[in-house]
Structure 1
């Protein structure tokens, strides 16, 4: 029984194998199926854009009203006006005159010879420049003597080497020079004395030897002459003095 089953099973397997082989051979002999062609989808055609419409022409402007301009106003703005010639005023000789009006101080100038102006006079006056210069020189030298005497003379001691004579102007420096123990101090005191003497001599000479000067009177004078006032002429009065 078992052997029979095994024989049947072997026969069944053999039949199945043959059937499988036959089906595979039949498939190999059939032509291969051609694949269906792929069709690309059709794109819609795009129409070209329409050109823009031309702009409408502008409406014509209404004509401007005509305005009549006078001939005088029609001239261009930048045209310069015609030059106006003004005649020069006639020259009129000035009239001079004098009167004793407001007093003005007289003028004094040094006389250098020759004729003097009308209504002026010659005077002799001291030489103020020499007098002032002499006083300044003498005063400066005397102040130096006072400063030296104050430095050498104390409140509780006597002055050294005759320095107390420096308080006396003009002659004091010479006495101090004679009593000075050193040659340098004597020379300095003598120089100070000579400067004081020179200043005094200069001031005295300026006072004793005056100079001649021309003195003009302090009288006012007036002058009448034409003057221009704006676009017209007038008469002006000028006050002067000699």
Structure 2
């Protein structure tokens, strides 16, 4: 299986509009980060999208991708769901509603933000979503088991996703001990890291992530949901432990 990072930036992306921060002015492509999202290609060639933010259309075009078979949503914040209307051409191509896996609270928010997708009498061209509420392990395409991970993001519970020996977690500020047991000794641990210093109420920062890596002992860790305050990609990469890396837009990992 293959995971491609479609976006690795925080909710404003990098560069931030109007910012003159040195990282926002960087010419290095690895310092240019669209909103966080990932695309998984299964052994059968099925395409699974994790989160669908405002950059979704651009991400698909940039990566020459033209198929999505299912969507996993971590939570309802706009930088993770507001691009769902741009699934329309893929829904029309599939000639079927798009399966969207999320918790009950997120399903309600999707209905609220895209009411035209659930109208009794839809106008031509409206998207169609098949919302599947996640209440435990589930299987996609007959053979791919997904284990949801309960994550704390400030004051709300959101979903992380584990498949095979890879876990994808974004927007975390706390992980309970029970859920940590599901994350030990992974091959790949993908986790949010907003910045180096100054604690944040709803996101891990670098010292917290490094402590978590020591505790969970994954073989490799990739950082996502990065703000410009973390620093230049190439400089931070040199400062990290050998098994911890900054993800960047377009990076692919095989698992």
State whether TM-score is above 0.5: no
The structure with more strand, counted as a fraction of residues: 2
TM-score (norm 2): 0.19
Higher relative contact order (CA 8 A, sep 6+): 1
- Structure index of larger Rg: 1
